[in-house]
Structures are given as C-alpha cells and as structure tokens.
Amino acid sequence: MAAISPATATTAASLSLPQFTSSSSSSSSSSPFSLSFKTATVGSRCVRCGVRSLENQSGHRSLDFLSNGDPISLINPNSSPISMAAASSESGSKCSKRVCLFHSDETRDLAERIVAQSDCIELRSINWKKFDDGFPNLFIQNAQGIRGQHVAFLASFSSPAVIFEQLSVIYALPKLFVSSFTLVLPFFPTGTSERMEDEGDVATAFTLARILSNIPASRGGPTSLVTFDIHALQERFYFGDTILPCFESGIPLLKSRLQALPDSDNISIAFPDDGAWKRFHKQLQHYPTIVCNKVRMGDKRIVRIKEGDAEGRHVVIVDDLVQSGGTLIECQKVLAAHGAAKISAYVTHGIFPKSSWKRFKLDTKGDPAEGFSYFWITDSCGLTVKEVMNKPPFEVLSLAGSIASALQV
C-alpha cells in the first residue's frame, strides 16, 4: 500500500436549508436549520462527504451519506436536525478532547466516516508494508507530532493473518508519550470460543482478552477498549485490570431504522435462541417478542418457536453475529410457517465466511418463506460491507457516529 501523507487539508462549508417539511403529517410544519459539511484531502486521496437525500419519516430525519462514492444510510434518531458534525463545526470549544485516529488498512473507510462525524477527530496514517520474508514493515507517520495528544486506533481482527501487524502498532502507540490511548475494536472476533466443553478445548476469547489486557499504559493511564455487542456477556470479565473495556451496542441504530419503516407499528422482534434474548431483550422491550430455540433431534438441530406470536407481523430476527446463516434461515422458515407477514433480520457483525451472505435472498413476491424484506448489518466487518453494498436485502447501518461519540468520553 502506498504511503499516505500526514498533511491534511480540510475545507468546510455551510449549506442553508430554509425549510424542512414533513410528508408524514397532514399539516405542513417547517423549521429552518443549516447543515454543515466538510471535505478533506489526505495526501492524494480525497475524502468526500455529501448529502444525497433528506427525508422525514415518522419524525425521523434521514441522510444518505456519500463517502468515496459508497452510499451509507445514516439515520439520526434525535429530534434535532443538526448533525454531530455540524454542531461541532459551529463551536470547536464543545470538543471534550481532540483525538488523533489511526486505522488499519481494512478499516480506512470506516475511519473516514468517523472523522466526518466530528471536527474533534483527526485522521492519521501508518505505512503498512512487508519485508521480503513476509513479516510486517511498519512506520507510524509523524510520531513526534502525537506527543501529548489523545490517540485512538481503529482495528479489525478479521483474520489471524492481520492480527500481529496491528498488535505491533497497538503496543507501540501508547509508548509515544501520548495523553491517552483508545483501541476501537468493533468486532471481538474470538467471542464465540468462550468456553470449554471438553478437557483440552482452548478458549481463544480468553487468550485474546489477555493479549489486549497487556497493552502498555499511556501517560493518562490504562488503555480504553471500545467494542460492540460482544458475543457472550461473561466475556467482559476476561479482561484484566490494566485495560478499561467499554461495551457499546448497535441496537440503537436498529431501533432508529425500525421507527422509520412505514409499518413501524407492526414490528415484532424474534430472537433465534435464549442467548440472543439475554443479550438484547432489555434494549428492545417495547416491541412484542418471539423467542425461538434449538431442539436436537438425532444429528439435527430443529428451530422451534418457544414463545410469542408471529401471525400477521413484520418479524425482525435479531442476533449479535452471523456466520454461515443456517440458524437464521431455519428461524425464517419457522416464522413464515407461523404466519409472519414479512421477515427481516439484524446482526451487528456480518461475518459471512466464504460469501455465505449469498444465501439470503430478497423477498420479491410477498412470500417471507422465500426471502427477507431487509437484512441490516453494521460496518463492523469492513470486508463484508464491500461485498454486500447495494445488494438487497442488505442495508448497512454505520457505527461511525457511535464510535465518534465514544471517543469523546
């Protein structure tokens, strides 16, 4: 990968929008507001931010946000029409701290979307190269320039092949005399391997937690870790006292999206197993709930409805992650057999090894047994986002705003 110049040129502009009229109300209501945006050039690469459309659905304002040509639907759940980026540009003094954000190769696009959310966050770069023997040849650009600064690193441990080079940077950044260090790891990848069932099983979730717990302290103290919807709740106790984990969730993004649907008053939430119910039911308690479970019959596992009624409802299956998708598809079939009018799905982490996302089809005939109305994922797994972008039923809900807010804590 070519090196990125540390010099960053940023321009900002303000677009006055005199009226905003709601189409969901019988009487027009107008409220003046302004929308600020910025474009930044990092070396020869232009970070382009723009607004494609603005709507008001059920009182929720929606922006189609363009980043390097890829549309990402961002929905503002707040009543205020002014974005976080606009608010911060109006008054830089509102920043609780200014953050220098580094990123891996894989998380570049998400990092650019995070920076676009707040003028308090500045994008920084690293040269990711390899020696002839395949080991990483890494260089942190303008390392002296981050002394005394708040520093964050946006990581993606999508495969074992990229973990070592990122850990090398993660261990180096706090020792560059920075004021504080935050590791943003949207997806904690070994979360499904959290327990031992037979003697000899290795719980790699605990192993990775121990590795992260030994990140060197910065001037400000222990490293902060920001991660989203970790697979098992008990995994928070795997981390040692030398790291401060902050557990965030993508569910608020889902709730905002559901409220913008035309049939928002007919939504039911289905959990594919008891584990998903334990993780998410309190955040979604205002919706009617359906709980499924897996019953072993010989060598097969059959999904059945344990409680709840799907008849005539738009049922949204909610879980933390999806890999092959077998459980979600079995859940879809049983919900359709029990009379669901529509079926959609949400997972925070769309892993989809071996392009298993291709198993999920769009419902084009009004038959929920044949396809999904929507399949929402976040951009926690950058490689997946590139594969499913603009391919219905998939729709990406960006974590950029949530991460930008977490970096200001």
pLDDT score for 60: 44
pLDDT score for 89: 41
Q: What is the mean pLDDT of each run of 10 residues along the chain (409 residues)?
A: 42 41 40 45 45 43 45 44 40 75 97 97 97 97 96 95 97 97 95 72 89 96 96 82 95 98 98 93 96 83 92 97 94 97 98 96 96 98 95 98 96
E strands in 215-364: 223-228, 243-248, 267-271, 289-297, 300-307, 314-322, 342-350
Beta bridge partners of 248: 228
Q: Would you state the CATH architecture of domain 251-378? A: 3-Layer(aba) Sandwich (3.40)
E strands in 68-187: 70-76, 99-103, 121-123, 126-130, 136-140, 150-154, 180-184
- Reference 151, options 105, 128, 109, 182; nearest CA is 182
Whether residue 6 is preceded by a cis peptide bond, meaning omega within 30 degrees of 0, is no
Length of the chain: 409
d(CA 78, CA 255): 12
d(CA 285, CA 282): 5
- The highest-level CATH class for domain 99-248 is alpha beta
d(CA 187, CA 385): 13
Whether residue 393 is preceded by a cis peptide bond, meaning omega within 30 degrees of 0, is yes
Number of Cβ within 10 Å of residue 357's Cβ equals 19
pTM for the full model?
Answer: 0.77
pLDDT score for 126: 98
- Any idea where the domains of the chain sit in the sequence? 99-248, 251-378
Beta bridge partners of 218: 221
State the number of CA atoms in the 13 A half-sphere of 379 facing the CB: 27
Containing 14, the helix (H) or strand (E) segment is strand 8-17
pLDDT score for 195: 64
